[in-house]
A and B are shown apart, each in its own frame.
Chain A
Amino acid sequence: MSDTAVSGPKAPAARSFFSALQLDTRLLGMIGAFIVLCLVFNFVTDGRFLTPRNIFNLSIQTVSVAIMATGMVFVIVTRNIDLSVGSLLATCSAMMAMTQTIVTPEWLGLGLNHPATAPIAMAVGLATGLVIGIFNGWMIGYLGIPAFIVTLGGLLVWRNVAWYVTNGQTIGPLDENFQLFGGINGTLGATASWVVGGLAVLAAFYVLWQSRRAKIKHEFPVKPVWAEFVIGAIITVAILGFVAILNSYEIPGPRLERMFEANDETMPAGYTAAYGLPVSVLLLIAVAVVMTLIAQRTRLGRYIFATGGNPDAAELSGINTRFLTVKVFAIMGVLCAISAIVASSRQTFHSNDIGTLDELRVIAAAVIGGTALSGGIGTIYGAILGALIMQSLQSGMAMVGVDAPLQNIVVGIVLVVAVLVDIIYRKRTGD
């Protein structure tokens, strides 16, 4: 959060263009690595990697891990760890699956696909995640059990609570409205996607303008106006480019025909429709915005980072660090529940192995995204980018046809090397 602009005045004249933009060099490095990765895979797969279809798939595959990774940033920043996120996801998913296949249709007599089913199921899932998160945080903060132990125990406990709740059975199919959050079954279509993209661009310009106005009000130095516009233009191209790519992924003809048949209509000849933005990706963006706001613009976020930087100083400043731990794990629990919605609805059923090994993917995403295990440093956007890089690596290798064991070996090596690069970067810049 505070590692921006440090290098500004020190940068040599040749880099004045970039220093005027005052961009985060770490962010640029990660984006650069991601682009290189994509280009390499695209080259090796003869252009199959960067197709609208694969970009669409990559996006929806990343969402579940990325949502949890934003919460893991707070957990790791406060010098804790959460090894139970995958199991917690499974328990939340099991609770939601049982709610919508047994509780609402049979016990409450609402039948299948009732409009109230999805909201009730989600409320149950979110409450489950919240309560378990608070319980974890209480054990860590107030009973003083190390987070590693509490969540290592939780890894076993919650995985098997999920098993117990469902008797180990696959529960499905899930409610139709619930499935809208899964990805391919819930997209906005072309027009609505353009509208959302346009609103996002407006919001970006508003934020840039607001921050400039506040700086001028306090008579701080501001970037040249052209630099603001260059940044605005980059953001605009990125947002609208993403929407354009997703909008050019068209729903296959047979599937469209089935959709029309379901409504007792016939498809007009030559009719096409695009998927557009998936609801799950919008959910991730919403989570990212809220978590970034918490991190950078609220007292809670400030205290999370202060506690990570120096727990004693935080305590002496009057911050209740125990209650803070409870809050951090409560947020993590709720995010696991949101991920459970996405993960189970993406596969349209709850399976006993849902979320297995997600704790490792989530921690890896946060760490690759620049979150320091020593605490105090980490960003939300970094963790999301980390999740995206991990997922691209995995599916890129699968596409190239790398053997499964080699895929995992590469991912493991990348994790270690990414942290090494980060350490070297921090030493060089003195951050």
Chain B
Amino acid sequence: MTTPLVEMKEISIAFGGVHAVDHASVDLYPGEVVGLLGHNGAGKSTLIKCLSGAYRADSGEIRINGDRVQIHSPRDARKYNIETIYQTLALADNLDAASNLFLGRELVTPLGFVDDDAMEAETRKIMGRLNPNFRKFKAPVKALSGGQRQSVAIARAVYFNARILIMDEPTAALGVQETAMVTELIHELKKQGLGIFLIDHDIHSVMQTCDRAAVMKNGKVVGTVKIDQVTEDDLLGMIILGKCPPGAIPGPGAINPEIAAA
């Protein structure tokens, strides 16, 4: 078997005595979409923020391509080609698409000044590929629709050659057509060999998009399943009861089958 792109092992993080994530382990292979499921507050966003550099784990280790790495900031994460698309759309509303796409990694002229024209040209190129209907290059992103804003966020990940993409409910704020566009984009990126962590509440869309799913409950991993071996009801059972279906690899959060049977 090939080396996993990402291995997160025994990650724990606590906020003031509350164990938000408790010895959670997940992994991700190239060209694979892994869904992270669970209730609000189950710890999936917190776990993934340890990978994107927004939080720092109290204990546990992260391996990228088999090498142990330290990720202390979003900048570190970018160094390992990890890009994140946040639920809250981490865009600066007052800036235009190009400024957002290059935020923190601006193209500069030889004198060290920000090169707006070059960035706009690059933005036009990449948006032409991802979302040919995109026209509003000069307007602040506040003036864009949810789907257009999401495509700016995705363009940011694609432009900087992400190998590992984290999507935190990428379709939560979108309409039907825009959701379809994002789903199509995920398939496209998967074909290019990216590994994608997808955090989502919509089980139906997880069944369509993901190859595997890891379910979390109360900060612990209930289990990991292959999507084509389970039904929607199996996933719901994992999310709500913490009950692992047959064929799943149970985690520390799974309820003991004997107790469940009793």
Interface residues of A (CB under 8 A from B): 2-6, 214-215, 217-220, 293, 296-299, 301-303, 305-310, 312-319, 376-377, 430-431
Contact = CB atoms under 8 A, between A and B. Distances in A.
Nearest to A300: B114
A377 B94 contact: yes
Given A305-B95, A313-B91, A3 B84 contact: no
Nearest to A293: B113
Indicate the member of B73, B89, B95 with the most A CB atoms within 10 Å.
B95
B104 interface: yes
A302 B138 contact: no
Interface in B49-90: 52, 54, 73-75, 78, 84, 86, 88-90
B240 interface: no
Contacts of A310: 90-94
A312 B54 CA distance: 10
Interface stretch (B9-17, B115-123, B187-195, B209-217): B115-123
A309 B93 contact: yes
A317 B90 contact: yes
Contact of B103 (A296, A308, A317): A317
A4 B139 CA distance: 9
Contacts of A218: 117-118, 120-121
A217 B120 CA distance: 12
Given A312-B88, A316-B54, A319-B104, A376 B73 contact: no
A306 B138 contact: no
B178 interface: no
Contacts of B90: 310, 312-313, 316-317
Contacts of A313: 89-92, 100, 103
B92 A316 contact: no
Given A303-B104, A317-B74, 19 more contacts: A2-B95, A2-B138, A5-B138, A218-B121, A296-B114, A299-B108, A301-B114, A302-B99, A302-B114, A306-B92, A307-B92, A309-B95, A312-B88, A313-B91, A314-B92, A316-B54, A316-B86, A318-B78, A431-B140
B7 interface: no
B93 A376 contact: yes
B156 to A, nearest CB: 9
Nearest to A216: B117
A220 B98 CA distance: 14
A306 B74 contact: no
B173 interface: no
Interface string B23-52: 000000000000000000000000000001
6 contacts: A2-B138, A217-B117, A298-B114, A302-B95, A317-B103, A318-B75
A220 B94 contact: no
B92 A309 contact: yes
A156 to B, nearest CB: 34
Nearest to A3: B140
Nearest to A319: B104
B106 interface: yes
A317 B104 contact: yes
B208 to A, nearest CB: 28
